[in-house]
Amino acid sequence: MNTRRIKFKLNGELVEVDVKPNELLLNVLREKFHLTGTKYSCGLGECGACTVLVDGEPVLACLTLAVDVDGKEVVTIEGLAKNGELDPIQKAFAEEGAIQCGFCTPGFIIITKALLSENPNPTEEEIREYIRGNLCRCTGYVNIVKAIKRASEYYRQNLK
Amino acid sequence: MISVIEGFTFIGKRIPRKDAELKVTGKAQFTSDIWLPGMLYGRILKSPYAHAIIRRIDTSEAERLGAVVITWKDVPNKLYNPRLVSIEEDTFKDWQILTNHPRFIGEPIAAVAAPSEEAAQRALEALRIEVEKVYKPILDPFESMMPGAPKIHEKILRGNTEITVENNVGATLEYSEGDVDKALREADVVIERKFKTNRRYHFTLEPRGAVCRPDPDGGITVWSTTQTIHNTKILISQLFDIPQSKVRVVKTYLGGGFGSSIHVNLVTLIAVALCLKARRPVKLILTREEDMMHDHVSYQMYFRVKAGAKRDGTLIAGEFENIMDIGAHQIQAYPLLGTALGWFVSLYKWRNIRYVGKAVYTNKVPACAFRGYGNPQVTWAVETVIDELAEELGIDPVEFRLKNYRGKGEIFWGQGPTVRSIIRSDGVPELMDVGRKWIGWDRRDRLPKTGRFRRGIGVARGFHTSGAGGPISGSVIDYTGAIIKVNEDGTIDYITALQDHGGGTIDAHVKIIAEELQVPPEKINVVPVDTSNTPYDVCTHASRGVYVGGEAARRAAQEIKRKIKELAMRYFEQEYKERPVNFEAIRIRYDPEVNDAVIYVEGTNMKITLSELAKLAWQKNWGTLIASVTYRSTVAPPSFTVYFVEVEVDTETGIVRPVRVFAGADMGTVVNPDLAAGQIHGGFMMGWSWATLEDTVYDPETGELLNKGLVIDYKIPTAQDAPKLKDFYVYFAHTYEPTGPYGAKGIGEAAANPVPAAIANAIANALGIRFYELPITPERILEALRKKEEG
Amino acid sequence: MTDVNIKPSIINYFNTRIIPIDFEYFEPKTLNEALELLSKFGKEAKILAGGTDLLVQMKIRRKTPKYVINIKKIPELVFIRMSNEAIHIGAATKLRMLEKSEYVRKYYQALYEAVRSMASVQIRNMGTIGGNLCNASPAADTAPPLMIYEAKLKLKSKRGERVVPITEFFKGPGITVCEPDELLLEIVIPKPPTERFGSKFIKIARTSMDLAKVNVAVALKIGSDMKSIEDVKIALGSVAPTPIRAYSAEEFLKGKEFNEENIKKAAEIASAETKPITDVRSTAWYRKEVAKVIVRDALSEAYRRAMG
């Protein structure tokens, strides 16, 4: 199998890496770039733990071939905090007790980022529909929904 | 009852958890995130047959591909049990690390390691299995028990004694108190019911795994998904004959436990074996399908409950038969027989009891503890029977429960017959009172019971122990330890082996230490640890994290406090040249202006901050402020939970949805309000899922899971399936547990235990139909409705 | 204990963490390039669109292509174009694009509802409508709406182009009429009537993120007398080896008055036309029973929408 060189923006930085066509973006991120925040949890697209942003859209890294992000912009959980300052979503999750074991947390934060980019003031129903592709076994989703609401407030405050 | 200690400085405050920043930035390192130079990736060869004898495995092709290969011939041939919570004599051993006699599909028979996962997968597929014999799998425990049924196990060990397994029964337990038959004769009402629970998969978001590295001194370092680093160390040491001091098990973040890692996961031992052969680091993480297919599942239980009561509503008899389908190997079957009895006995005052319990082998994935350890199942059966008795007697189900439950002042069985204590805190009356008002209990029979959409309200009351301690040392090992030391700048290091699998127990400990020392939580550092630098802790299970671990932390902090005061006294005497200060007059309090603990003498201007004192101690060669505690609790008090659930059933599709939920919890002092509420939220959704969605079903011919381990067909609820925020009310009772740190008790399992029962009772109230098999799926509901209509 | 003939499990060939097979990978930039490759490799090649079906199947060895052709870079396959008569959707158009299209939402309500019911935002950002159709799962959620709107599919190969009505597209679970050298180009959906017309999609599943146990789409045109059924289309999924139209039920309803009794009867006829199986998700009996309920519910809602 021939390797290809792909070039893409990873958390704001231009990177280059050789990959085989059957390599998944998830494993390239975790193994080659040592960005282990994006998790493997089911590999079948059912749990959302591997959610990343590609060109601003939330997708599943476990079902994305690395070659498919050539020329694109990828943002992982590690790329959210700017200059050591947490993104308001990260703050909100911490403040609302929305984190327990923490394994699903990066996926939820990324999907929240996508949600608030599209819809800065979502209703509870809209939040629940948008995040239903992210599973959590610990929290029952209550504090997560609260955190997303708080995050949307923070965003709106910042925009003022 | 209002808490005795009012005005806490840190207890009960809403503070983001200490590891929040690491977790929200993706920097928290879980076992599967570990990467070491020269690391090999492991893959396990899983038995493709539910019951077979393997003649040999041809490893030549795999080795030619460059992989390191191990089969059962390359690992110690010792029978073991992966769970070391019970004492040796009560531990039933029937496992092998790798076997040539697999007894369930997925049982590890060999393993490979190679420089990449792809190479390892290729090597795995290059292994050739030569089968000696294949047996028809037994999948039903009743079939399995029948005389003449093929033997799944013949000789196993109990402790170090060989025992013969008869009729595939791995363990039995019987118990009786009083005269059940007489009581049943005298009862005015008798209800007898049979129940079948489901076989649920834990679905921790992190699949189980381990990384093992060989160290230059001949020892190994291990990272694994475990709820107990010390038991992992001990088992590895015992099996591989490495001294415990050379087995370092590192505490990592754990992506969920729920009981799936109370025992040492098989993958850990295989990773160690591969590492020892390869003399290189090995990473072995299960794929999701392996995690479900071959690693762990909950105990499936078949109950028969017979209960008798008098017309005035007094319970007088309880007969309980418990047949457990434990799968192909024992993990904690025998102890569970005892705990199931303990749950039964402690739920209500039966007055006369008879119990028969059997743990039966089948050719399925071995069962292990799952949040509640039998309590959700037993509570479902008991709360159903209690509901039916109340109905039969014409007594309000809430009143009937209040009249007969084991509450304050009663004797309570911790986790089985050898652990008894008196209940000292009990919030049940408060929870029942607040709950019934909030949910509108008295209007439940006026909710729509005809037409397409019908509604019902159900109540269920449950509990769980806080740990497994007891007054005498019995069958269960339960103790912990903590070390606290003060750094030379007044910051604090907290060292514990206790694992936090998400519930926030370590944060509670930090607050407890903070409260005791009057030091703000942000100055307390939770040290990353391993087994070489921590005192023994048995395991984070049995909801013991805060109650036992927190108390150990508090005692260590108490000792530090005493030492701080001693040093402060030295300072005051030197500094103020006063006559010796009265030790009792030295106080500590938190001063927000300096954000530090201030040690002072009441009524004088003598004071010093902790940071100043710590620096002084260093400069004056007064030594390190350090305390080390090993602690065993002598009681395991119950935390109580009461759920009132309103459901709506679409009688044309059988689909049930949660309308409103009241979750009442008596956990004593609530140390971490957000995380405690989080346990309740999570407990409810898990219970909802258990009651309505989850089951692992086997192909009767092959013994393979019908869903082949693929989560496409193992559903758990999403955020969109959960009740709305305004429809879910969490209420904490105002209680104080005198034996707990600052009055706290556990909550992790109590949060989920009564949920399936509450939902089942709600469905019964909506439809007038009871279900005695879980899960209560739309298919089953629709079928039952049709049968009822047809009359 | 006797020796028995039991098929061994293939679990050792699953690995959902990686793609456990090798393949040759192509990224054609034009339609012709793609067709050239298909013509060359035929059965041994698989089209990679969103990957949410193909990659899953590769991980569990259900599909093991030697050649994988990624068609996402072909502009001729990604579009949504409206004309007066129809909507034209490129096969590689992401489901999320359909969901966000005002036009789809306004005129093809059943399709909009179906897409929204599918999986998650992430999956819909990756999956394509063409992929959903060509994967040909009997549970495909886009199929029943396309059936009731009488969509037509344009297939193309080096040999030429042809148009296949959606009702003739599916042959069995995972099997379509697509030849090995053919590519699905475009889905053309005629514009539905604007007056006295309503359509509805309903899906029954275990959770909100699940494959359908049963799904149904109906389209209803009410006559100018405001009560008779001028035209009706009913399609069901997950109840037969392919998504189906309930022709007998449609026949029964055409020309009749829209009332509770007729709707109930039609739903029963539709249910009788189904051939569901019992599988890990549900039972045959349940699917037949619930088909009755949701056909009836969908018709009622479609009527409400038709009447404004």
Do the chains contact at C208 and A132, CB–CB below 8 Å?
Answer: yes
| Per-residue b or e along C39-56, where b marks 16 or more CB atoms closer than 10 Å to that residue's CB | bebeeebbbbbbbbbbbb
Please state the φ and ψ torsions of residue A26, each to the nearest 5 degrees.
-55, -50
According to DSSP H, which parts of B33-115 are helical?
Answer: 60-64
Instruction: Please tell me if residue B121 touches chain A, with a CB cutoff of 8 Å.
Output: no
Which residues fall within 8 angstroms of residue B456, CB to CB, at 6 or more apart?
A: B444, B447, B449, B646, B647, B649, B762, B763, B764, B765, B766, B767
Q: Which residue has the tokens 């020392």?
A: B517
Largest Cα–Cα separation, chain B: 95
Contact B40, B68 (CB under 8 A): yes
Judged by CB atoms within 8 Å, which residues 21-50 of B form the interface with A?
A: 21-30, 32-33, 35
- pLDDT category at B5 given cuts 50, 70, 90 is very low
Tokens of C9: 């499990």
CA distance A18 to A8: 12
Distance from CA of B715 to the nearest CA of A (A): 9
Q: What is the pLDDT of residue B418?
A: 72
What distances in angstroms separate CA B93 from CA B330, B450, B531, one per listed residue?
A: 7, 54, 24
The answer to whether B264 and B82 have CB atoms below 8 angstroms apart is yes
Q: State the smallest CA–CA distance between residue B450 and chain A in angstroms.
A: 29
Nearest to B504 by CA among A134, A143, A40: A143
**C209 touching B, CB under 8 A?**
yes
- In sequence order, what are the beta bridge partners of B194? B304
Run of H or E including B568: helix B551-576
Residuewise pLDDT in 10s, chain C (308 residues): 456 789 999 999 999 999 999 999 999 999 999 999 999 999 999 999 999 999 999 999 999 999 999 999 999 999 999 999 999 999 999 999 999 999 999 999 999 999 999 999 999 999 999 999 999 999 999 999 999 999 999 999 999 999 999 999 999 999 999 999 999 999 999 999 999 999 999 999 999 999 999 999 999 999 999 999 999 999 999 999 999 999 999 999 999 999 999 999 999 999 999 999 999 999 999 999 999 999 999 999 999 999 98
Between A and B, how many residue pairs show a Cβ–Cβ distance under 8 A? 187
Taking the Cβ of residue B134 and every Cβ of chain C, the question of whether any pair is shorter than 8 Å is answered with yes
Distance (Å, rounded) from C-alpha B85 to C-alpha B100? Answer: 27
Residue type, B433: D
- Asked if the C-beta of A130 comes within 8 angstroms of chain C's C-beta atoms, the answer is yes
- Beta bridge mates, B630: B481
Per-residue pLDDT tens digits for B562-601: 999 999 999 998 888 766 678 889 999 999 999 999 999 9
Burial of A77 (C-beta count, 10 Å sphere; 0-12/13-18/19+) = buried
Residues of B within 8 A of C10 (CB-CB) are 48
Query: Which burial class, exposed, middle or buried, applies to B472 when counting CB atoms under 10 A from its CB (0-12, 13-18, 19+)?
Result: exposed
Chains that touch B (3 or more CB pairs under 8 A): A, C
Cβ neighbour number for residue B783 with a 10 Å cutoff: 16
Note the ipTM here.
0.98
What pLDDT is recorded for position B470? 85
**What Rg, from alpha-carbon coordinates, does chain A have?**
16
Rounded Cα–Cα distance for residues A27 and A8 (Å): 16
> What are the pLDDT digits (tens) for B88-104?
999 999 999 999 999 99
User: How far is it, in rounded angstroms, from Cα C116 to Cα C112?
Assistant: 6
CA distance B121 to chain C (A): 7
Q: Given an 8 Å threshold on Cβ–Cβ distance, is A101 in contact with B711?
A: no
Say whether residue A19 is in contact with chain C using an 8 A CB cutoff. no
- CA distance between the termini of chain A: 53
* Strand (E) or helix (H) holding B126: helix B117-126
A144: pLDDT strictly greater than 60: yes
In 3D space, the residue among B634, B641, B685 whose CA is nearest the CA of residue B667 turns out to be B641
C-alpha separations of B68 from B223, B395, B607 in Å: 20, 68, 65
pLDDT computed for residue C40 by the predictor: 97
pLDDT of B2 reads: 32
Say whether pTM exceeds 0.95: yes
Q: Distances in Å between the alpha carbon of B567 and those of B562, B612, B734?
A: 9, 11, 38
* Alpha carbon distance A134, A49 (integer Å): 7
Q: What is the mean pLDDT of residues B208-229?
A: 97
**Three-state DSSP state, B123:** helix
CB B778 within 8 A of CB B656: yes
pLDDT of the residue at B6: 63
Concatenating the DSSP letter of every residue in B442-496 gives GGGGGS--SSSEEEEEEEEEEEEESSS--SS--SB---EEEEEEE-TTS-EEEE-
At A160, the pLDDT band (50, 70, 90 cuts) reads low
- % chain B with pLDDT above 70: 99
Is the pLDDT at B4 greater than 60? The verdict is no
Compute the radius of gyration of chain C from its Cα atoms: 20
The order of strands in the sheet holding B161-164 is B92-93, B155-158, B161-164
* Nearest Cα residue in chain B from A42: B288
Cα nearest neighbour of C18 on chain A: A24
Q: Please report the DSSP string for C139-206 in residue order.
A: T-TTHHHHHHTT-EEEEEETTEEEEEEGGGTEEETTEES--TT-EEEEEEEEPPPSSSEEEEEEEE-S
Task: Kindly report the length of chain B.
Answer: 791
Which candidate, B354, B342, B381, places its Cα nearest to that of B193?
B381
Pairing outcome for strands B92-93 and C170-172:
unpaired
Q: Is B109 helix (H, G, I), strand (E, B) or coil?
A: strand
Contact between chains at C17 and A44 (C-beta distance less than 8 A): no
Statement: residue B84 has pLDDT above 90: yes
Model confidence pLDDT, tens digit, residues C210-230: 999 999 999 999 999 999 999
What rounded mean pLDDT belongs to chain B?
A: 95
